Structure 1
Amino acid sequence: MLRNGTRVKGELFDDESVQKILKAGNVLSEFTHHVKYPRTYHLPWSPGMNRDDRMMNDTNIFRGQKIMICEKLDGENTSCYTDRVTARSLETSSHPSRNWVKNLWAQFGYNIPVGWRVCGENMFAKHAIHYSKANGNALETYFYMFSIWDDKNMCLSWDETLEWAELLELTTVPVYYYGVYDIDVITELNDKMEDSPNNIEGYVIRLAREYHYSEFRDVCGKYVRKNHVQNNHGHWTTQKITKNELK
């Protein structure tokens, strides 16, 4: 429950039996349409797990299926609704690094259907990686879209995501691979991560098809390079902002 008294939808909220119970209890109106972005589990071969991270049980669900692999950008997870913008926490406080994305949202947010959300990475401020021309990883934009969810908590397919990105005039995350799962592609990507330890955080694999919020931990996984987070100065939000660079 949020501080304002509204309730947050869980994984089973859209289940028919749960809906009947909530409707009978006359409490459906107490739930907000804002949803906390789910935790992305590590792939079994990800070397960058921390103590509080979790790992996927297996990756069998990817085999024989069409997948999308994109760069895992080192920014702040951000969700854009038609009525507001939030970080991963639904009770986000204001921060100067979020102003650019909020100004961008003002230009497209009114086109997001009620109850839907556009999710992406806010790249304005440096976290662990500095995106710059000198490092060879300068950015196209300060907001990269990676998914869009409808009012039934379904993450749309990657093809539909691209269509919405074009409609909203948003840039999508850099894609490494889009096709049927191929272990040789994974091996090649892992080598790339090892060869670029200072300017890439990792990558994310997702099923290309649509999926429900409750499936997320099984159909989406991340690879994070070893020793990615090395910060002895506290959380990035408490430090002076170092602005990432655009191309």
Structure 2
Amino acid sequence: MAISTKYGRTYHFPFSPGTSSDDRINYDYWEQLSAIPQLVHTEKLDGENNCLSRLGVFARSHAAPTTSPWTEDLRRFWQLVKHDLGPLEIFLENLYAVHSLEYRRLDRHYYVFAVREEGRWLSWEETRFYAHMLDLPVVPEVTLPVITGRAAFEKELVAAAGGSGAFGPHNAATGAPATMEGIVTRNADGYPADAFSKNVFKYVRKGHVQTDVHWTRNWKRARLKQEGGSYVDPQ
């Protein structure tokens, strides 16, 4: 039995090309999206979903705290902040290890994308606040115009997702420039955890998993753009 509740599966937009047979698709997204007063669009990063809570550092499964080598630095950070977390659960993209995309303009290895507190997902403003309190950046925001029509929304989102994003992604296998992993669209306000699927949606690029061998078998650490010579991960 899990000792913590993991992050829910984010449903794809119906026009998301990066779906697989076990992915879930929200065909009613437009009706739900239209009922949300304010949206936030953020870049979906190609990393590992990690969670910091008072119980430990978790990977995608919350059956037990993770002990992977690519979370060692994050677990050292957790030791410094664990007594300050209280009921907060900080969800972040861990980019310490290279997956299918290798980012060449990374400032940090960890980017917060959501915060949960006692069965409620906090607003984007609150998420940014707590990330700042922990001296962690949030995932990059993607600017889209305010759109009232479904067709125009889909066109603008697809166009934005075709860009390179904030961190200069390259295909990890070939070294060729790549587009961003995708875009996550969420309700800017907070919402109950059991309403997750009606408040968070994603668009993922086609062929987003391009590694023939799972990245964990021969993983390598992602370089940061400012490093050189002797290097110590920032805390």
Cα-to-partner distance string for 1:89-141 (whole Å, 9 max, x where unaligned): 0135521111121122223232111x320111111001110112xxxxx2121
Cα pair 2:49 2:94 within 8 Å, conserved: yes
Q: Look up the SS of the partner of 1:176 in the other structure.
A: coil
Q: Distance in 2 between matches of 1:180 and 1:66?
A: 9
Cα pair 1:207 1:220 within 8 Å, conserved: yes
Q: Distance in 1 between matches of 2:39 and 2:23?
A: 23
Moved more, 182-191 or 50-59: 182-191
Cα pair 1:71 1:174 within 8 Å, conserved: yes
| CA RMSD after TM alignment | 2.1
Cα-to-partner distance string for 1:35-78 (whole Å, 9 max, x where unaligned): 11111111111111011111013222222620110000000001
How far the C-alpha of 1:182 sits from its partner, in A, is: 5.5
Specify the alignment match of 2:26 in structure 1.
56
How far the C-alpha of 1:162 sits from its partner, in A, is: 1.3
How far the C-alpha of 1:220 sits from its partner, in A, is: 0.4
Q: Distance in 2 between matches of 1:186 and 1:165?
A: 30
Q: Distance in 2 between matches of 1:162 and 1:117?
A: 13
Q: Which amino acid is the alignment partner of residue 6 of structure 2?
A: K
Instruction: Decide which structure has the larger Cα Rg and report it.
Output: 1
Q: Distance in 1 between matches of 2:148 and 2:139?
A: 20
Q: Which amino acid is the alignment partner of residue 123 of structure 2?
A: S
Specify the alignment match of 2:41 in structure 1.
69
Q: Distance in 2 between matches of 1:40 and 1:204?
A: 9
Partner of residue 165 from structure 1, selected from 109, 120, 131: 131
Partner of residue 155 from structure 2, selected from 177, 184, 187: 187
How many corresponding residue pairs? Answer: 208
**Residues 107 and 92 from structure 1, CA distance in 2 versus in 1: closer, same or farther, beyond 3 angstroms?**
closer
Q: Distance in 2 between matches of 1:93 and 1:155?
A: 23
Q: Which amino acid is the alignment partner of residue 229 of structure 1?
A: V
Partner of residue 154 from structure 1, selected from 120, 139, 155: 120
Cα pair 2:120 2:192 within 8 Å, conserved: yes
Identify, as 1 or 2, the structure richer in helix: 1
Specify the alignment match of 2:170 in structure 1.
none
Moved more, 168-177 or 70-79: 168-177
Q: Distance in 1 between matches of 2:129 and 2:146?
A: 21
Corresponding position: 1:236 with 2:199: no
Specify the alignment match of 1:200 in structure 2.
180
How far the C-alpha of 1:159 sits from its partner, in A, is: 1.0
* TM-score of the superposed pair, with normalisation by structure 1: 0.77
Identity %: 34
Partner of residue 11 from structure 2, selected from 41, 54, 58: 41
Unaligned runs of 5+ in 2: 165-176, 226-235
Partner of residue 145 from structure 1, selected from 105, 112, 116: 112
